Structure formats: C-alpha cells, structure tokens
Chain A
Amino acid sequence: MNFTTSLKSTSTGLRNALRSTLFGVTMAGFALMSTAAEAQQTLRVVMHSDLRVLDPILTTAYMSRNHGYMIFDTLYALDADLVPQPQMVDSHTVSDDGLVYTFTLREGLMFHDGAPVTGEDVAASIARWGTRDGMGQVLMSFVDSMAQGATPNEFVINLKQPYGLVIDSLAKPSSNVPFIMPKRLAETPSTEPIPEQIGSGPFKWSDAEFQPGVRAVYEKNTDYVPRSEAASAAAGGKVANMDRVEWVVMADDQTALNALLAGEIDYWEQPPADLLPILSANPDLTVKNLNALGFQTIMRPNTLNAPMDDPRIRNAAIASVNQKDVLDALVGTPELYNICGAMFVCDTPLATNVGSETLTAGNGIEKAKALLAEAGYDGTPIVIMHPTDVASLRSQPVVVAQAMRDAGFVVDLQAMDWQTLVGKRASQASIADGGWHMFVTNWVGADVFNPLVNNMVNGKGKDGGWFGWPDVPQIEELRTAYATSQSLDEQKALAEQIQTIAFEEGMYAPIGQYFVPTAWSNSLSGVLDGPAPFFWNISKE
C-alpha cells in the first residue's frame, strides 16, 4: 500500500461531512453545557483595562477606583444629578459655628470579615485618603481633628475654620474616592498597598481567583444592607443582584467584540468608536453612554522649560488648536463628542466658556502667530510626548503638533509608550537632560469638574503642583476662596475667575469633551449611569 492509496481510502467526502456535522453538534453541546449552568448567576464583564493595583487610595488608576466601588462603601455619594447623598451615613449634624460635623452611621454596616464599621474605621480611612487625594488634602488642611464620636457608630470632624465642601469632599466620585476600610488596613502608609481586600461594600473580593491580567472575581456580599432609596449613580440602594461578577481581561478589541456578539460576555465597558456601528446594529445589544460628563482630553504645557516658560508661547500653542480637528481625529463621530471650552466640563454647575473662544471656534492661528512674534519665538523645537500604545491618546498629539507647526512652531513629536511618558512627565529636567514641553492626557469629567479636583488648575508650582508645575499664587488664593465659599453662586463666580486666569497663564487647555458608550446584552437590566461603572442594581434574565 502506498500513501496515495491510503489517503484516498480515508478521504471520502460524505464520511467527512458526517463527521464534521457530528463534531459541530458535539462542540455546540459542550458550549451549551458549560455556560447554561452559570449564565443566570454570573455577570461577565470586559473592563477598559486590567486590574493591577488593588489599593484605590495608593493609586488614581480608574481600574483601582472601580475595584474600590465593588468592595468598599462611601460615607456619601453623588447621585445622577451630581448631588451628594448619604450612603453609609444615616444622618449628620453641623454645629452652629460650622466647625463640628457629627455623622451617625447606618445600622447594620459590617465589613466582609464580620466586624462592624465604626467611627474609628472611618476616621482612619478619611485620614489615609486625605494624605493622597487633592480634594482630601484640602479638606485635611481645614481639619483640626477627626475621631470616633460618643458611640461606635458616630464619627466627628472638628474644623479649624468653616469649610463649605466637607460633604462634597466625602462624596467625591472619582479617583481618589474616600472609601471606608477597616482601621487596621487604613493605618497602612498611603505609599504602600493595603495587605487585604476587606471592605463593607456590596461585593466581596475573591482573592483566590484573582489573576492579574486575566480576571478579577467578585462575589455578592449577602450581609450587605442596602439603603432603601432607589439606586442613582453612586448613591441610593446598592442591591447586588448577581452572585458573581467576573472582570475578564481581553487584550484585543476584536476578541471582546466577538465575545459580546457570541454571548460569552455580558457587558463591555468601553468599546472603541470604530466598532460601535457593529454593536449598535445588533438588536440583542444596548449601546449607551453612561457617563454624562464624559471625558475631557487636555494638552498640558511644562512651564519650567523654555520657551514654554513664557505664557505667550503657551497661549500661542493653545490658540493654534481647533477642538473639532482633535475630536474628529480622536472620536470621529460627532454624536460622541462635544466641542467644549469649559475647564470644569460642560453641563456642570461651574461650566463656562470664558477664555476658550479660539479652541472652540478654531480660529486662533493668526492669534497664535501674533503671540509667537510678540514673544520672539526663536524656533526652539517643542518636545511633545506622544504615547503610541494607547488608542485614546495617540491621535491628539499628532493633531496638536500639526496645528502648532501651522502656527509657526518647530515641533519634536517624540513617540513612546504610555508608561515611559508617565515616568518622563514627572521629570523637571531641562530639555537637554531629557525633559519635555507638552503632553496630552484624558480625564474622566468627574475628576476635573471643580477647581479642587481639577489638578491642572493647581497653581502651586514646583512644590506641590501637578506635572507642568505652573506657579500661579493668584489661582491658589481663588481655590482657597472656593473651598470656603458657602453658596453655589459664589462658587460659580470663583470658578469663572479661576478659568480666566488659567487660560491667561496657559496652564492647560481642554481640547475636547468626548463620550465612550458602554455596550451590554439586552439580557441585562438595571445598568446605572455614573462616572464609574457600577455593578449593583444589575439583573440578568
């Protein structure tokens, strides 16, 4: 027998077709068996990134914040109208002089290890958060002391002077969120990760199933006592309807798309814009923007390195940019972006377009040229850091660089990966020593929607300022005034002044607001709007 004969004898078409069909049926059977048992119990989710750092106070990473919302709880939380509502707190009183805040915790609050939540836990948690978070640091500058009250479920803050944003601070919705953790964990230095994942939130952490870069698993906290109010963004009753929530990491967008279409996952937090038409066309899926404030993409100059140390040069760079060009390159679909010059985000109480006319109208090239001439720009190359590995950050530097070239700048667009940029932007070195002039990044709207949380209007300079380090004492005075303001009208007026000065100084420029819809299976109901993805309130048919 030779090989040809052998091959011929085994290659009967009919037999192969039968085998293929039987094989297909068997494989489909495997698939049904493996998913049916779990489908009603488990919510499978693809998040925008993988969870690495488990301490939401140590880092500002949004994945760590999202993890925090799963297992920890907060004293207050913003509802869908951005109004702070009590969450762990049952009630609070303020002394007549405005210096003493006494909070009473809800009954039945327990950590996942069975211990009750006490005022001591709260005091330690707020203190740790206050060492890391910008708004927390401002709050702490007003705090004289914090301690458990007369009973274990009371917590008292004594202020040095009245501060109008105590509740707003405790309701801060995005990184860093003031999550409450057991005192023994909260006493961990804020530069080290907490050693355990014990919170009092609606889900428990499954440490044994955690595989960094692969999946993170949460189980329903059956002891959690939700508030009676309906869920609204981060506020209201956090009713966990799912037994398990699995965050599955998928490095490839096409794979995530296929998995959602095939029903292998239920929810995709941030599908890329170019795949949205496919998702929207599928009648079994819902595609919706859950974050009304969206994202703000920004350009940030470094005020330390010449010629960007000159506000006129910084303003020339800002004037050269047209938000529409940036957003067309970044998003493409006009329905998913908003030309918005408000540093504190459009559609918020503090929104104002003052100072941003050229950005939104796209008519600033002549102004930019005039400013360059006035400042005597000598053609020094402007180093713009260009992260090429992050889809949401790689197009803006190219557009900004071209706009600046059109205005007369010489631009050195330096390609690098995002983590190199993260390391490099912390450097205050000169250009000759590897420094930089500008970078672009994105913020969740809730992280920039008032002067205290918005890092870019921090005017503390090299000592306490954010990367780029503008030194603008007048801004700091206004931010302090904002912190002590007692009315929304006063806050609006101060925010407008801050934005005016920030543009005059060229501290930064918002170069567009955009929205990233979420896609989920129609078998889900109760998906909440909010500045972060929330997985309570969701049910699965």
Chain B
Amino acid sequence: MYVYILKRVLAAIPVMGFVALFVFLLLRLTPGDPAAIIAGDTATPEQLEAIRTSLGLNDPLAVQFFNWISQLLRGDFGTSILSGKPVIELIADRMEPTISLALTTIILSVLIAVPLGVIAAWKQGTLIDRFVMLLSVLGFSVPVFVIGYLMISLFSMQLGWFPVQGFRPIGDGVGDFFHRIALPTFTLTLLYIALIARITRTSMLEILGDDYVRTARAKGLPETRVLMHHALRNCSVPIITVIGIGFALIISGVVVTESVFNLPGLGRLTVDAVLSRDYPVIQAVILLASLIYVVINLLIDIAYVLLDPRIRYA
C-alpha cells in the first residue's frame, strides 16, 4: 500500500510538469497583452514596450518558462502582474471561502443524499422513490444560479433570514460564518444531493439483489443493519468516487455560485485572472486545481481499500 502511494506521488510529478508546460504555452498563445491592459488607452507603443520589458514579457518563451519553473521550485508563485500582490497571498485569501463552501456542501449533501438514495432503492417504485428521483432530476436540471436567486429572493429579500451576499471568515465568529455560508451551501447542496442520491440508489439497487443480502435478511438481521452495514458499505466505492470528484470540483471553483452570493473564492479569482490575462495567477490556480485533483484521486483510491478489503494495490 505504501509503495503504491509512493508510486502515485511520483507519477504525479510528470503530470504536474505537463500541466505547467501546457498552461504556460496556452496562455502565451492566447490573444491579449497584460501590458496593454495595465497601460490603458493612451499608452504609446514605446511605453507598452517598456512595460512588457519590466514584466519580463519580452524575454524568449523558454527563458520565461525557466524563470517561472525556477520560482515554483523555490516555492514562489510569483506576483500578480496587475495588483503586484504575491500570488500565494491571493490564493490563500481565496482558499477559506472555497474550502468552507466545499466542506459544508459535501457534508450536508452526504448527510441528506445517501439516506435518500438508500431509501429510494429500498422502496424502489414507490412514491418515496419517485420523489427522490424527481428531486434528483430537478437538482440536475435547474441551473444553479436560478436556485441561488430563488433562495435569495425567499430567504433574504422576503424573510430576511440570511444576508444577500458576502463571506465572513470563521475566525470572525462561528455564527456569522454559518449565517453567510448557509445560502450558497443550500444552493450547491441541491445539485449534489441529486448527484449523490442517484448514484447511491443505483449502486444499492445492484447490491440489494445479491445473495449475501438475501442471506443477511434470512438470518433475521434488522433491515437497517442489512441496508447500512451489508449493502451500503459494499456499494460505497462509486459513491465515494462521486463525492471525491464533487469535492474537487468545488475546490477548483464554482464561479456561478460564487458570483451570485459574492463569495471571494478560487473560481472568481480564476475567471478574473483569465479576463485580465494575469499570467502568474492563472498559472498558479490551474496548477493548484490539478494538484487538488491528483491528491483527491489518490485519497479516493486509498478509501477504496479501506471500504472494500477485496481491493488490493500492488
């Protein structure tokens, strides 16, 4: 197992290297000039050249790439071309809202969706099952921004229970933190409930017809134990996979939800950086997103082993 983890970590290095090279080249080949963006409307060609030179954009691509990689290896993500702030600082500022939203959404979704999926499978074909499936279809079909606006309209504008927008760090008060993260969490949770409940139901349906489930019931085990201990555990691999990928997706940025609720997360940082051609920021957030996917996939694989002893890694 440890050897497997080590191999996976080592295998991630060339993956990250490829991502770094790809992102770097893609950005340089995309139209747009950060110097022109900085200088504004009245800059002369000479001034633009001077700004490009001061930003290092006139260096050969190979030199720019080497400089960037050298910085990265020293743990330096560089500075934002536009604001002059260290990129690591910009990312760190955006991590708490993003991780907070990811955790609250995933925890709430799992707490609701897994039991719903189990019940739907257990009561297949009944009204409960149909209700869960309807909820699932709705969760998939209604765009997140529509759900968000409806939530704001009802809970903020009409009832006044929650603020319309914004984020407060948990360090500023747990109550205020949950007060502000609640609506975006509920909004994304609807989507994730739809996803996780459907996967749970499908996986459970496959398992519930197996012989060992019939045997467990024949032994007289309580239904809850049959469902939760025997069936659910054995169908947890696809559920864990979906949860893991879903978590990575939120961490990488859910820009629509962040915009609707004005959450200063990584999604908005990425979009803003792309629109303003802030190369160091774009490169860093994409690398970070790739790293998150690699790590979460590794954690999912490890979870497989813990949940299903039949799985072995060489």
Name A residues whose Cβ lies closer than 8 Å to a Cβ of B. 1-4, 23-24, 27-28, 30-31, 34, 50, 52-54, 58-61, 132-134, 175-176, 189-193, 210-214, 248-252, 254-255, 258-259, 261-262, 264, 389, 416-420, 422-424, 426, 441, 455, 464, 466
Contacts and interface: CB of A to CB of B under 8 A. Distances in A.
A466 B50 contact: no
A253 to B, nearest CB: 10
Interface in B36-74: 36-45, 47-48, 50-51, 54
B128 to A, nearest CB: 8
B234 interface: no
B165 A422 contact: no
Most chain A CB within 10 A, of B80, B82, B162, B272, is at: B82
Contacts of B162: 27, 31
A213 B261 CA distance: 14
A211 B156 contact: no
A176 B39 CA distance: 11
9 contacts: A4-B123, A59-B40, A60-B43, A192-B54, A213-B269, A251-B258, A389-B275, A417-B275, A426-B48
A262 B224 contact: no
B262 A464 contact: no
B160 A175 contact: no
Contacts of A27: 161-162, 179, 182
Nearest to A34: B176
Given A258-B152, A258-B156, A423-B32, A54 B84 contact: yes
Nearest to A28: B160
A353 B250 CA distance: 55
B179 A419 contact: no
A455 B43 CA distance: 11
Chain B interface residue number, banded: 35 or more
Nearest to B84: A193
B175 interface: yes
Nearest to B123: A4
A419 B30 CA distance: 11
B83 A53 contact: yes
B165 A254 contact: no
Contacts of A213: 264, 268-269, 272
Most chain B CB within 10 A, of A133, A134, A423, A441, is at: A423
Contacts of B38: 53, 58-59
A424 B128 CA distance: 58
A255 B176 contact: no
B259 A60 contact: no
Contact of A212 (B47, B80, B262): B80
Contacts of A254: 149, 260
A458 B39 CA distance: 18
B31 A420 contact: yes
Interface of B: 30-33, 36-45, 47-48, 50-51, 54, 80, 82-85, 90, 93, 115, 118-119, 122-123, 128, 149, 152, 156-157, 159-166, 168, 173, 175-176, 179, 182, 223-224, 258-262, 264, 268-269, 272, 275-277
A52 B38 CA distance: 9
Contact of B165 (A212, A264, A455): A264
Contacts of A2: 223-224
A262 B164 contact: yes
A1 B51 CA distance: 72
A416 B33 CA distance: 14
Given A419-B277, A423-B37, A423-B277, 6 more contacts: A31-B179, A53-B83, A59-B39, A191-B50, A252-B260, A419-B32
A248 B263 CA distance: 11
Contact of B259 (A59, A252, A420, A455): A252
B31 A261 contact: no
A258 B157 contact: yes
The 5 closest A-B pairs by CB, nearest first: A60-B40, A423-B33, A191-B50, A52-B82, A214-B264
A255 B262 contact: yes
Contacts of A189: 50, 54
B79 to A, nearest CB: 11
A193 B81 CA distance: 10
B42 A455 contact: yes
A493 B47 CA distance: 33
A246 B39 CA distance: 25
A264 B164 contact: yes
Contact of A423 (B36, B119, B261, B268): B36
Nearest to A131: B47
Contact of B47 (A132, A252, A417): A132
Contact of A264 (B31, B40, B54, B166): B166
Contacts of A4: 119, 123, 128
A30 B176 contact: yes
Contact of A23 (B156, B161, B163, B173): B161
B161 A466 contact: no
B34 to A, nearest CB: 8
Contacts of B277: 419, 423
A104 B52 CA distance: 39
B69 to A, nearest CB: 25
Contacts of A455: 41-42
B8 to A, nearest CB: 34
A54 B115 contact: no
A47 to B, nearest CB: 14
B41 A252 contact: no
Nearest to A46: B262
A144 B88 CA distance: 46
A207 B232 CA distance: 52
Contact of A262 (B41, B115, B156): B156
A50 B118 CA distance: 47
A255 B145 CA distance: 11
A212 B90 contact: yes
B132 to A, nearest CB: 12
A193 B118 CA distance: 59
Given A27-B162, A211-B93, A426 B260 contact: no
Contacts of B48: 426
B153 to A, nearest CB: 8
Contacts of A190: 47
B149 to A, nearest CB: 6
A418 B93 CA distance: 27
Contacts of B31: 416, 420, 423-424
Contacts of B128: 4
A264 B163 contact: yes
Contacts of A23: 161
A487 to B, nearest CB: 28
Contacts of B43: 60, 132
Nearest to B264: A214
A50 B163 contact: no
B175 A422 contact: no
A191 B54 contact: yes
Given A2-B224, A193-B84, A419 B262 contact: no
A426 B165 contact: no
Contact of A214 (B93, B260, B261): B93
